[in-house]
Amino acid sequence: MESRNDNSISLNKYISSSGICSRREADRLIESGKVSINGKRAQKGNRVLPGDHVKVNGKKLRSKSKPIYIAFNKPMGIVCTTDLKEPKNIITYIGHTQRLFPIGRLDKMSTGLIFLTNDGDIVNKILRSENEHEKEYFVKVDRDITDAFVQGMLEGVPILGKKTKPCKIDVQSPRTFKITLTEGMNRQIRRMCEHFEYEVKSLRRTRIMHISLNNLKIGKWRNLSSKEMYIMQKKIK
C-alpha cells in the first residue's frame, strides 16, 4: 500500500465519488485490472493525488455530477442490478437521465421501497450493519400465523450460518404481518419464514429508516426531500 499523503484520497473513494459506482464495486474494478493511474494498472490500496489521471475501462473519470437521491417503489419482476444485460434491470426501468445505482437490494419477486443514487460515498454508510438502520416490510404468508411462529421470529432464526438479530413483529391479519429488521441478509425474511415452514406469498418493503413509501405508486420514483436527506446524514455519521 502506498504511503498516505494529506492531499491524497483512496482510489476506491475517488472512483465512487465520481458517481459511477459504490466503493465495493470500485474495488472489484481495480482487482479486475480495469483501472489505471497515470497510465499504469492500479492496485487496491493505491491513493490518488491532485493532478493524477485515473481511467476506468480506458475512459477518464468525469467530475462528479450533482448528488441525486431518489426513492423508488419497485414492482415485482424488476431486478436490482446495474447490469444492462439483464432485460428487467432497475436502471433501464427507471430511465433516469443520470447514471444511478441502487443502495442495497430487493429480490426479484419482492416489491417496495429502495433508494438509488449517484453518490458512491453514501452507500456503505447506509448499508453498514452496525448502524442498525430499521427497515419495515409487509408480508403475506400461505397459512395462519401462530404465536409460536411470532415468538420464534422475534427471538432470531438460524439462517446462512448465523442467527438473525431480534426483530419487531406486528400481526395485521391471520396471514399478514409487519416486520422491522435492523439487518439485511440475503432473502432474509423468506428464509426466516421457511425455517418455520411458511411460504411468503408477497413481500413489500414500506420503510427504510425514517423514509416511507407513503403514497408513492408502484413503479414510480421521487427525489428525497432536503429534510429527509438532512435527517439521513445525521443518522449515518
Neighbours of 80 (CB within 10 A): 21
Residue 116 and residue 102: Cα distance in Å, rounded? 4
Q: How do 200-208 and 158-159 pair as beta strands? A: unpaired
Question: What is the residue whose three cell numbers read 464495486?
Answer: 25
**Residue 52 a catalytic site member:** no
Res 81: pLDDT? 93
Res 131: pLDDT? 66
pLDDT in tens, 99-121: 898 998 899 999 999 999 988 77
More confident residue, 84 or 204: 204
Neighbours of 178 (CB within 10 A): 16
Q: Which domains does the chain have, with CATH numbers?
A: 9-60 (3.10.290.10), 69-128+211-235 (3.30.70.580), 134-208 (3.30.70.1560)
Catalytic residue among 6, 52, 83, 107: 107
Split at pLDDT 50, 70, 90, the class of 1 is: very low
Residue 29 and residue 124: Cα distance in Å, rounded? 17
pLDDT in tens, 165-223: 999 999 999 999 999 999 989 999 999 999 999 999 999 999 999 999 999 999 999 99
Tell me the whole-structure pTM to 2 decimals: 0.76
Q: Smallest Cα–Cα separation from 72: which of 233, 208, 237, 232?
A: 208
